[in-house]
């Protein structure tokens, strides 16, 4: 642990030497941990995809990130400040809602594709009439 701190302090000194007057980086807090999982889950859900680019979704990764935030919520019950609890609850609510909407859209798309494939396979699809 002491080697880590010593190395970390050396890195900070090097960064400050290259950026005189730059503020010192704040210590990592519980809110930073929540924000990190929150942002990771948002990116996994495709939020922030630049306009004109194909949205890339990692639905399983997003579910895992949301589940990890839920574990944190369960394990910290009764130990959080009101601000920390509110932020964690809000992040979980928003991510769960977004996940549910996206999972529903994926499921609906899969159902439509399966129906179209079945229709072509059975010959019950649209026919060309002459």
Structural domain spans, the chain: 26-98
Under 8 Å CB-to-CB from 55, ≥6 apart: which residues?
46, 49
Q: Alpha helix locations (H) across 45-81? A: 59-75
- Tell me the per-residue pLDDT of 71-116, one tens digit each, with 9 for 90 and over: 999 999 999 999 999 999 999 999 999 999 999 998 888 777 766 6
Secondary structure of 24-70 as H, E, C letters = CCCCCCHHHHHHHHHHHHHHHCCCCCCCCCCCCCCHHHHHHHHHHHH
Angle at 34 between CA 71 and CA 25, to 5 degrees: 140
- Tell me the per-residue pLDDT of 16-73, one tens digit each, with 9 for 90 and over: 889 888 888 888 999 999 999 999 999 999 998 889 998 889 999 999 999 999 999 9
């Amino acid at each position: 642990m002491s080697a880590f701190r010593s190395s970390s302090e050396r890195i900070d000194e090097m960064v400050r030497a290259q950026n005189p007057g730059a503020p010192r980086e704040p210590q990592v807090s519980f809110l930073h941990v929540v924000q990190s999982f929150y942002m990771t889950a948002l990116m996994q859900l495709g939020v922030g995809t630049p306009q004109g680019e194909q949205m890339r979704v990692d639905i399983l990764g997003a579910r895992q990130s949301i589940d990890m935030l839920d574990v944190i919520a369960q394990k910290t019950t009764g130990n959080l400040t009101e601000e920390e609890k509110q932020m964690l609850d809000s992040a979980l609510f928003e991510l769960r809602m977004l996940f549910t909407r996206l999972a529903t859209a994926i499921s609906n798309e899969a159902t439509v594709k399966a129906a179209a494939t079945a229709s072509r396979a059975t010959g019950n699809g649209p026919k060309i009439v002459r």
